A and B are shown apart, each in its own frame.
Chain A
Amino acid sequence: MEEKLILFKNRKRFGIEKNIDIIFKNTTLVLSSLVAIVLFGIILVVFFQSFESFSRYGLNFLVTSEWNPVKDEYGAFTAIYGTLVTSLLSLLITIPLGVGTAIFITEDFVPKFVREIVGSFVELLAAIPSVVLGLWAIFVMEPFFREFFVFLHKFFGWIPLFSSEPAGRNSLLAIIILVVMLLPIVTSIARDSLNQVPKKLRNASYGIGASRWKTIFSVILPAALSGIMAGVLLALGRAMGETMAVTMIIGNSNVFSWSLLSPGYTISSMLANQFGEADGSQVSSLFYAAFVLMILSLVVNIFAQWLVKKFSLKY
């Protein structure tokens, strides 16, 4: 062994080849560093562009809802409220639906091929572009839910969330289309987490006479919880940044309303709507809003990654 190594060391490599080796390594090093450069570039550029607006409005920008290019007054509360309320409510609906579907896929209520079909249908749903879902939402979903919204307002109008006459395009429609978009994320991550729960835990539970759902609720879901939580957070980040389908169906109105049946705004739909035509200090205010969106999604994403690392399954 010793001898061979010495032999190899003495064998000459061409100088060029050695250089290529070093160049190749350093090139890949630079390319991988580009990720960090782009990431910091995005944060810095968006931050500096928003500086003008930031120095003018400070944190008031976050809590005032007037957005008036004519008066040159900007506050993003309507969009921030819209972003938070649409993403959180859609998530609230998606979690049980997605986890329920994941349980369906990982349990054996039906033969395996049926479960596989359901699984791949849900994953294919993730491949449908957001803008196409928006188109579908405008022409198919909106008419479908119209009557239901009237009913909702009539009987639940006393709840602030349903207190306005239903508009043709509104926040609730945006929430529904967001559910469609988040479902594949939550389902596939919940499914992976459930699959990672060791079989021996299920055996243990069945072996002492626990029923199927007692086992799922008391043993399997708790063991998969951290993974599911991380998936939920990723979905939340996605929901906050989701642009096209929401922009097309939410109604894009800067008039603040608590009601989900009124047209609303999210940060990303505001950007999509106004960026192309904005000028002057409106541009800086849009960058400010973009910065807020970025910070929100960064925080959520980093927290999700931390959760994955911290609680990756130990048994």
Chain B
Amino acid sequence: MNSLYYQKKLSRNVGDKFFTSLSVFCALIAILPLIFVVTYILIKGGAQITPELFTLEPNPPGDDLDAGGINPALIGTLVITTIASIIAIPVGVGGGIYLAEYSKGGPFSKFIRFGVNVLAGVPSIIAGVFIYALIVSTKILFGSMYSGFAGGMALSILMLPTVIKTTDEGLKLVPNELRYASLGIGASMYTTILKITLPTAFRSIATGVVLGIARAAGETAPLIFTALFSYYYIVGFEDLFYEMGSLAVLIYNFALEPYDAQNKLAWAASFILVISILTVNIFSRIFAAFTEKTKRV
């Protein structure tokens, strides 16, 4: 009979050690990129943060002395993301409500859920191509071609599946007893949804939507030929229908410039973008964990 003692040289023990180390190695490699990227952005981008950065227009490349600020891009990102949210959230929440509350899992809802997943898999640049064909090249929006509005629409296509999915799934988690309770005292369906189910699912839907917005804020591909880019301040409402800058496109354009000053602006913009996105992500994670804990009690 074999001894019960652990034998190092046994092939299964050697194998187990080997694969365990391999798995640890994989995990180490997997966390390296985040650490590297964030560190570089903190160092290289953090160094560029000045008050002027937030207030000035960027100078056109070539003048290597002073690159200026990123105010138009910062405001542009806010504006474009807001437009995208204004379109995607009502449509997505409404669509999600239909899927979770009204459809009885029939072929229509199956088809739509399938469509949501397919739409989520459509490459983001295709959304840009679509809006380009639909709005930019046709000049359908008051004769303007590239515009912040077109950029917002392209982004909304990317946000839509996320919003529908989180609404659908958030509502499905609401226990049916709550619905019966409301319907049982004679409340109509829409009152039940608006007053009972939606508020109950609000936290999980909101978390998902906020994450979706954060994701959209960093999207570049749909904007490069819809909103294009602009060096100038956004001053009025009519600017929505002209070319509009954004942090993401600024990073793309200025990273490829041969001038150091523009490269630095790209790092600064990355700093702001990454810090905001990570903050939103970390907070919603803590928030979700907290919600889960309180629910259990």
Q: CB atoms of A and B under 8 A apart anywhere in the complex?
A: yes
A residues with CB within 8 A of B: 8, 11, 13, 17-18, 20-21, 24-25, 27-29, 31-36, 38-39, 41-42, 45-46, 49, 96-101, 103-105, 107, 109-110, 118, 120-122, 124-125, 127-136, 138-140, 180, 183, 187, 211-214, 216, 234, 237-238, 240-244, 247-248, 268, 271-272, 275-276, 283, 286-287, 290, 293-294, 297-298, 300-302, 304-305
Which of A41, A96, A133, A211 touches B13 (beta carbons < 8 Å)?
A: A211
- Once the chains bind, are B95 and A301 in contact (CB under 8 Å)? no
Q: Which of B51-59, B201-209, B277-285 contacts A (4 or more CB under 8 A)?
A: B277-285
Nearest first, the 9 A-B pairs at minimum CB distance are: A241-B123, A129-B218, A100-B26, A31-B94, A32-B95, A301-B121, A28-B98, A24-B190, A104-B27
Residues of B within 8 A of A100 (CB): 22-23, 25-27
Please measure, in the bound complex, the distance between the C-alpha atom of A28 and the C-alpha atom of B94, giving whole angstroms: 5
With contacts A39-B115, A297-B121 known, is A290 near B126, CB below 8 A? yes
Q: Does B12 contact A (CB under 8 A)?
A: yes
Among B181-212, those with CB < 8 Å from A are: 186, 188-190, 193
* Cα–Cα distance between A247 and B53 once the two chains are bound (Å): 27
Set A101, A104, A135, A301: member contacting B255, Cβ < 8 A: A135
Q: Taking the complex as formed, is B149 at the interface, i.e. its CB lies under 8 A from any CB of chain A?
A: no
Q: Given that A35-B95, A276-B228 are known contacts, is A46 also in contact with B126, CB under 8 Å in the complex?
A: yes
In angstroms, Cα B98 to Cα A36, docked, is: 14
Question: What residues of chain B lie closer than 8 Å to A20, measured between beta carbons?
Answer: 188, 190
The smallest C-beta distance from B292 to any residue of chain A, in angstroms, reads 14
Q: List residues of B (238-287) whose CB comes within 8 Å of A's CBs.
A: 248, 251-252, 255-256, 263, 266-267, 270, 273-274, 277-278, 281-282, 285
- Judge whether B121 and A268 touch: CB under 8 Å: no
A118, A214, A244, A283: most-surrounded residue (chain B CB, <10 A): A244
A133 to B189, CA, bound (A): 47
Task: Determine if A302 and B118 form an interchain contact, defined as CB atoms under 8 angstroms apart.
Answer: yes
Contact B221 A31 (CB under 8 A): no
Stretch with Cβ within 8 A of A (4 or more), from B32-40, B64-72, B78-86, B172-180: B32-40
A214 to B15 CA separation, bound complex (whole angstroms): 9
Interface digits, B98-120 against A, CB 8 Å rule (1 contact, 0 not)?
Answer: 11011100000101101111110
Q: Are A104 and B24 in contact (CB under 8 A)?
A: yes
Given contact pairs A34-B95, A302-B118, A45 touches B133 in the complex (Cβ within 8 A): yes
Which A residue sits closest to B91, measured CB to CB? A31
**Contacts A25-B189, A211-B13, A244-B248 given; 9 further ones with Cβ under 8 A?**
A31-B90, A46-B126, A97-B26, A101-B27, A122-B31, A136-B37, A138-B256, A234-B121, A272-B224
Determine whether the beta carbon of B130 is less than 8 Å from that of A46. Answer: yes
CB of A42 within 8 A of CB of B126, answer: yes
For the complex, is B220 an interface residue (Cβ under 8 Å from A)? yes
Q: Are A118 and B30 in contact, with the CB atoms below 8 A?
A: yes
Most chain B CB atoms below 10 A, which of A33, A128, A183, A271: A128
Complex partner residue of A28 from B95, B111, B123, B255, CB under 8 angstroms: B95
Whether the Cβ atoms of B252 and A248 lie closer than 8 Å is yes
Nearest Cβ on chain B to A190's Cβ, whole angstroms: 11
The number of A-B residue pairs with CB atoms under 8 Å apart is: 273
Q: Measured between C-beta atoms, what is the minimum distance from A37 to chain B in Å? A: 9
**B74 contacts chain A at the CB level, 8 A cutoff:** no
Contacts of A125 in B (CB 8 A): 30, 33-34, 37
Distance in angstroms between the alpha carbons of A184 and B57 in the assembled complex: 36
Residue from A29, A34, A124, A238 within 8 A of B282 (CB atoms) = A124
CB < 8 Å neighbour of A244 from B19, B26, B221: B221
The reply to whether A128 and B251 contact each other, CB–CB distance below 8 Å, is no
B221 touches A11 (CB 8 A): no
Query: A31: nearest residue on chain B (CB-CB)?
Result: B94
Bound-complex Cα distance A104 to B30 (A)? 11
Is B144 on the interface with A (CB-CB < 8 A)?
A: no
Pick from B15, B16, B26, B263: contact of A101, CB under 8 Å = B26
Question: In the docked arrangement, what's the CA distance between A272 and B22, Å?
Answer: 38
Docked complex Cα distance between A109 and B225 (Å): 48
Once the chains bind, are A136 and B126 in contact (CB under 8 Å)?
Answer: no
Q: Of residues B109, B218, B285, which shows the largest number of chain A Cβ atoms within 10 Å of its Cβ? A: B218
Residue of B nearest to A274 (CB): B225
- Determine the distance from Cα of A293 to Cα of B116 in the docked complex, in whole angstroms: 19
On whether A97 and B30 interact (CB within 8 A), knowing A241-B123, A271-B125, the answer reads yes
**B231 interface contact, C-beta 8 A:** no
Asked whether any CB of chain A lies closer than 8 Å to the CB of B157, the reply is yes
Contacts of A134 in B (CB 8 A): 251-252, 255
Query: Are the C-beta atoms of A294 and B123 separated by less than 8 Å?
Result: yes
Cα–Cα distance between A51 and B44 once the two chains are bound (Å): 46
CA distance A275 to B225 in the complex (A): 7
